[in-house]
Amino acid sequence: MTCRAKDGGGGKKNKKQVVQPPPAQRDEKVIKKVEKVIKKVEKIPLKPRIQPAKILPKLSAKIPALRHENIYNIPNFLTFSRLLATPVIGYFIVYDQHLYAFSLFFYAAFTDVLDGWLARKYNLQTVVGSVVDPMADKALMTTLVSCMAINGSLPLPLAVLILGRDAALAVAAIYYRYASLPAPKTLKRYWDFSLPSAEVHPTQVSKYNTFLQLVLLGTMMCVGLLHDPVATKSAAGGLLTSVQDLLGGEESVRKMVMGMQYTVAATTVYSGLSYTWTKDAVKILGHDEALKLKQGFRGRMIVGGAFGAVTIIAAGLHLRDRIWNEDEVKEDEKLLFKASK
């Protein structure tokens, strides 16, 4: 007879109980497994996701390199000497020292031709030269026009027209320099002309206009020599008088100068407005073509708006002067009529 043990739970079978190891033994096994995994991971060669040797050349190719030029050469030295001589010329004109003023003016004209020839012949052309050379010309022109207007030898409307055109171009140049300067745009980098950002290419009519302005001012300075005792008593005094007589006398010279003034006024207006439709006058350096087009359009509109206002002011001054002259002529005629009675 077989005896069966009774379950304490009402006939149900006892489940097999799993014997758990002690906590210290469990932690030791886990640590060993982790150490094995670490050793396997250490044996795996790791490759960097970013390799500087391959990335840097690609980045350098995309980032535009900034050029530095050698600005210390003879053409630039002559240009800066012409710039420094400009205020001295103005001083001599204001104080009627026409012989000294004309001598320095001749030096400025000679160096203007010489520095350009040297730069082209010996390949010494620089961006700073392309900026400072026309700047020196404009500084000389501004000084001559201002001082002659102060003396009364140059009509005020023509002086306003010439100076206003240069002022409009100067405002546009400030915008072009700031807009085209690569980041970061700091004051130090703005005045660092060894960092080129834009190239100025004067229009053809602007070159003709500059030449005519210099001829006009030079002619007026020669006329001023006839009123300078130092010049008339010099060796060239007889030559100046002979040239004036050859041209028909003082009245003929005055009419010739007046005709030159009207010609210069016309070319000044046309040359100033030509910068509004000539896209190649200012070449912005850079790689973003869309941004360059936008900056060029804004610069041309600045020139057009500013110089348009100047032209209107000059025309108003000219009309005022004509009215005043007509009134003076009428007054003189009245006085002559009363005197004849």
Q: Taking a C-beta distance cutoff of 8 angstroms, is the pair 301, 282 a contact?
A: no
In the prediction, which pLDDT does 17 show?
56
Closest of 230, 229, 91 to residue 147, by C-alpha? 91
Regions of the chain where pLDDT drops below 70: 1-27, 41, 45-69, 180, 182, 190-201, 280-296, 327, 329, 332-334, 336-338, 340-341
Asked, for residue 63, whether it belongs to a domain, the answer is no
In the prediction, which pLDDT does 274 show?
81
Strand partners, 198: 284
Distances (CA, A) of 207 to 13, 106, 136, 280: 116, 19, 14, 15
The DSSP call for residue 51 is: -
pLDDT in tens, 203-233: 788 888 888 988 899 888 888 888 777 777 7
Asked, for residue 272, whether it belongs to a domain, the answer is no
Asked, for residue 271, whether it belongs to a domain, the answer is no
In the prediction, which pLDDT does 6 show?
46
Q: Which amino acid is at 39?
A: K
Asked, for residue 312, whether it belongs to a domain, the answer is yes
Asked, for residue 331, whether it belongs to a domain, the answer is yes
| Domain extent at residue 300 | 68-201+280-340
Distances (CA, A) of 51 to 35, 44, 47, 54, 295: 30, 18, 9, 6, 38
In the prediction, which pLDDT does 2 show?
46
Asked, for residue 179, whether it belongs to a domain, the answer is yes
Asked, for residue 118, whether it belongs to a domain, the answer is yes
In the prediction, which pLDDT does 53 show?
61
Domains of the chain: total: 1
Closest of 170, 198, 175, 192 to residue 282, by C-alpha? 198
Asked, for residue 238, whether it belongs to a domain, the answer is no
In the prediction, which pLDDT does 5 show?
47
pTM: 0.63
In the prediction, which pLDDT does 122 show?
86
In the prediction, which pLDDT does 144 show?
92
Sign of the C-alpha dihedral, residues 49, 52, 53, 56? positive
In the prediction, which pLDDT does 131 show?
78
pLDDT in tens, 182-201: 677 777 776 666 665 666 66
